[in-house]
Amino acid sequence: MKMDIAFGQYCEGNSILHRLDPRAKLIISIIYIVVLFLAKNVFTFALLTLTTMALVILSGISLRVIAGGLKPILFIALFTAIINIFFFTGDTLLVDLKIVKIYLEGLFNAGLIVLRIVLLIVSTSMFLTYTTTPLALTDGMERLLSPLAKIGVPVHDFSMMMTIALRFIPTLIEETGKIMNAQKARGADFTSGGLIKRARAIIPIIIPLFVSAFRRAGDLATAMECRCYTGGAGRTRMNVLHAKWYDFAFVLAVTALGAAVVLMNIYLPGYTVTM
Amino acid sequence: MAEIKLCDVNYIYNKGTPYEAHALKNINLTIGEGITGIIGHTGSGKSTMVQLFNGLAKPSSGSVLLDGRDIWEKSERVREARFRAGLVMQYPEYQLFANTVYEDIAFGPRNMGLSEDEVNKRVIDAARFAKVPEGVMNRSPFDLSGGQKRRVALAGVIAMRPEFLILDEPAAGLDPGGRRSILGGIKEFGKASGTSVIVVSHSMEDMASYCDRIIVMASGKIIMDGTPAQVFSRYNELIGVGLDVPQITRVASALAEHGLDIGRDVYTVGYAAGKLSELFDK
Amino acid sequence: MENTIEVKNLCFTYEGYGDVPDVEALHDVSFTVEKGSFTAILGHNGSGKSTLASVLCMLSEPASGEVYINGKLMTGEDVTDEDVFDARRRVGMVFQNPDNQIVASVVEEDVAFGCENLGLPPAEIRRRVDDALECVGMRKYARHSPHKLSGGQKQRVAIAGVIAMKRDCIIFDESTAMLDPMGRREVMETIEYLNKVEGVTVILITHYMEEAARADRVIVMNGGRVLTTGTPGEVFSEPELLWDADLDVPQTTELLYRMKKAGLDVRLDIFDFEECAAEIARAVKKRQSEVK
């Protein structure tokens, strides 16, 4: 069955990026995204391309995997590029097709914007999806947000929900496949007919799926109760996150990168990207 | 009499990915009347094979013939195959969805495009065969007990009047009484309606007492095919591939070592007891 | 002998609704489970055995009757939440559906879940999780996703989660019912190891005769009542009683029973196929020599 999606796309490994504290990775990702949007000219883009390539090398993840991860955004990137090429007005006219005019600046701008999207996806997946398990991410999120629990935000409950969702998504996907097969065996047809007919055809899948999800939820709640779960209070964790020197070093390095980009924007004015 | 035939069938999961798995290897098989049992481990390919019979899975190579015609020849043929080879999946009670038991059983026949009169007739017949009590026909299927739900699901497939009734572990999770009743009911239905039955199961004891023919699968291949007596007499080979044999077959084999030979083809308690009585009454 | 669980005159009724009448699930059930013993509760679906399990785990409250856990009364109005929490630290439960009791998407995180709820220090949890996984033979799957495991492996993970909490009694509520023969064998071996080697009190709820035959004691439930109790030998010596309760006896017992009916002088309390054959051979030879 081809239903088994690569959920979270975590790649097993033991690189420095894998070993970073998930909290550090979350913070770094946020800073890195901001820095990418601060980048204005060709020099800063060059610098960020270099740092992102360094990240890829550090992570030890194969280029083929990364290229595969970029596939889904290909369309968005192309679309943005085309819009930029056709609707950007600059000084150097390259092609004049009467209705649309293509300028050198437009091409250039499009290139940088696509580069930004690519760098955005590659860098965040380097820090988050490829090197961090969804569970570790949830965990990091819970601990980063834990101060909010003091003002009554149910941080633990949200993270428990996330944990359980991560656990059950593959199970429910598999179950959907089974139910679909069972109904197909009774002659259900999911592929032909108009919109309304197709929507109706989904009922025999959705209802058993819901019934099963509720049954599972009930069972799981009982099982958790039997394992002495009483909510977040008084709970400890097996894996305690310890921030190490390299976590701080990484955060510092990325902050420094941000500062460098800002300075380069000011002191090295080159071709500037708009948008 | 209808006949399902697999010719040189191979089935490969996730072809071209690192998870590629060769689930069925060069299978040639013809299944006709009677009750045919398929046994094998989880992962032996038996569940994949079952999905080939009614076109839920498409062979990677080779062909599936229903009465001599390839079911994958045209797309309508596949759907027709699903009606003619009715499949009851494992834990079928989890596929119930309609508001009432009646509506659920009627789902298959309605998909066949039958008239309401015909649907009604088939639903009532199927419910009777599957021993669904009349009183529950207008109740929600979700209010029934586990055993009753399974009967309703079974009726939902029987109502299509398939020429083949294929069941994947029909007795899974049931207690001995429930097993006897559902397997006995299926056997009775097969006889009364002339439907060929294919049952997949782990339970050697059940297969021994209900099947006319047993097919043993291991690592994607058919390793044995014959009557229960023929299959269970190859006791050591079965154990060799990690399958069980009925406890009584082991007893018979141990009895032979004690000088009481009642044959190698013992697989039901009644038979063993009869043979033994003959021995000591001499 | 110390009793881990003592049940006295337990009654339980599921209240009906609409046109569904009340169902009396348990009626005057009494028994004791000795510390370190292996007790099987046998019964067909709907015989009350699962209701019994949920009462023992304090998931449902009985209509009347008493349940003592390690000598402490756990039923009635004086039972506090702390008492329940305390009892749950001692009595654990492994359920039927292996999928619906695993919380985390990494095996070792799931095994740690119960210990984390107890508020144990991280180093202690780590040690217990490693030990528990070792004990059920799942150490090498510690970082795996439970989703990819077989049914038997999932149940062993669930068992590890229970033993990591160092419970002295584990109730298995039809934990083998959804497994294939291989999975059942794995789980039964784990259960026997826990009982014989680790000294855990085991209550196994099942409808498989072969599993019940491996217990020290069998309690047979039927229609919400205790039908009979005794050693497996004693219980299975009365096949008619079990057949009437929609249960089976092992094939060895059935054969011996039929031989006995046919006039052969054999014992009925044998479950091993070799012993069974030896017993029949002995009896047949004895008879043949008598005839001569």
Distance in Å, alpha carbon of B83 to nearest chain A alpha carbon: 7
Asked if A75 and A139 sit in the same domain, the reply is yes
Asked if A28 and A109 sit in the same domain, the reply is yes
Asked if A64 and A159 sit in the same domain, the reply is no
Asked if A88 and A38 sit in the same domain, the reply is yes
Asked if A63 and A115 sit in the same domain, the reply is yes
B157 touching chain A per CB within 8 A: yes
B59 touching chain A per CB within 8 A: no
C106, C144 Cβ separation under 8 angstroms:
yes
Average pLDDT, chain B: 90
Average pLDDT, chain C: 90
Asked if B80 and B168 sit in the same domain, the reply is yes
Asked if B228 and B255 sit in the same domain, the reply is no
Residue A245 domain flag: yes
Q: What is the pLDDT of residue A2?
A: 35
Using 50, 70 and 90 to split pLDDT, how confident is the model at C289? confident
Asked if B166 and B153 sit in the same domain, the reply is no
Q: In the 8-state DSSP scheme, what is residue C28?
A: E
Rg of chain C (C-alpha set): 21
Parent domain of A201: 154-226
Residue B195 domain flag: yes
Subunit contact B176:C180, Cβ cutoff 8 A: no
- Closest residue on chain B to C247 (Cα): B176
Asked if B57 and B177 sit in the same domain, the reply is yes
Using 50, 70 and 90 to split pLDDT, how confident is the model at B85? very high
For C127-157, the pLDDT digits (tens) are: 999 999 999 999 999 988 898 899 999 999 9
* For range C96-101, the mean pLDDT: 93
Subunit contact A238:C95, Cβ cutoff 8 A: no
C10, C65 Cβ separation under 8 angstroms:
yes
Residue B93 domain flag: no
Chains with at least 3 CB pairs less than 8 angstroms from chain C: A, B
CA-based angle A223:A225:A228, to the nearest 5? 115
* For range B149-175, the mean pLDDT: 93
Q: What is the pLDDT of residue C145?
A: 87
ipTM for this model? 0.88
Please state whether B15 falls in left (phi above 0), alpha (psi between -120 and 50) or beta.
Answer: beta
Which of A9-18, A81-90, C21-30, C183-192 ranks highest by mean pLDDT?
C183-192
Domains and CATH numbers, chain C: 3-249 (3.40.50.300), 250-292 (no CATH)
Residue A232 domain flag: no
Spatial neighbors of C261 by CB under 8 A, at least 6 apart, are none
Residue A181 domain flag: yes
Q: What is the pLDDT of residue A6?
A: 44
Residue B81 domain flag: yes
Residue A137 domain flag: yes
Using 50, 70 and 90 to split pLDDT, how confident is the model at C172? very high
Asked if A245 and A123 sit in the same domain, the reply is yes
B276, C283 Cβ separation under 8 angstroms:
no
Q: What is the pLDDT of residue A271?
A: 64
The CA–CA distances, whole Å, from A146 to A26, B76, B83, B104, C110 equal 14, 58, 57, 49, 22
Residue B259 domain flag: yes
Residue B118 domain flag: yes
Q: What is the pLDDT of residue A5?
A: 42
Asked if A78 and A202 sit in the same domain, the reply is no
Query: Into how many domains does chain B fold?
Result: 3
* pLDDT of C71 strictly over 90: no
Here the tokens at position C193 are 């190891």
Note if the pTM is more than 0.90: no
Asked if B81 and B4 sit in the same domain, the reply is yes
Q: What is the pLDDT of residue A4?
A: 38
Asked if A130 and A261 sit in the same domain, the reply is yes
Asked if B199 and B238 sit in the same domain, the reply is yes
Subunit contact B247:C251, Cβ cutoff 8 A: yes
Q: What is the pLDDT of residue B74?
A: 84
Using 50, 70 and 90 to split pLDDT, how confident is the model at C188? very high
Flag the least confident range among A17-21, A131-135, B105-109, C190-194: A131-135
Parent domain of B111: 98-159
Query: Cα separation of C174 and C281, whole Å?
Result: 36
Residue A272 domain flag: no
Subunit contact A181:B156, Cβ cutoff 8 A: no
Q: What is the pLDDT along chain A (275 residues), one digit of tens a residue?
A: 333 344 456 777 888 889 999 999 999 999 999 999 988 888 899 999 999 999 999 998 888 888 888 888 888 888 888 888 888 777 777 777 777 788 888 888 888 889 999 999 999 988 888 888 888 888 898 889 988 988 888 899 998 998 898 889 889 999 999 999 999 999 888 877 788 888 888 999 999 999 999 999 999 999 999 999 988 888 888 888 888 899 999 999 999 999 999 998 888 776 666 65
Asked if B134 and B191 sit in the same domain, the reply is no
Residue B58 domain flag: yes
The CA–CA distances, whole Å, from B201 to A38, B40, B245, C180, C188 equal 64, 8, 13, 9, 20
Domain boundary, last residue among B115, B139, B159: B159
Asked if B119 and B25 sit in the same domain, the reply is no
The CA–CA distances, whole Å, from A86 to A28, A93, A95, A100 equal 35, 12, 10, 6
Query: Into how many domains does chain A fold?
Result: 2
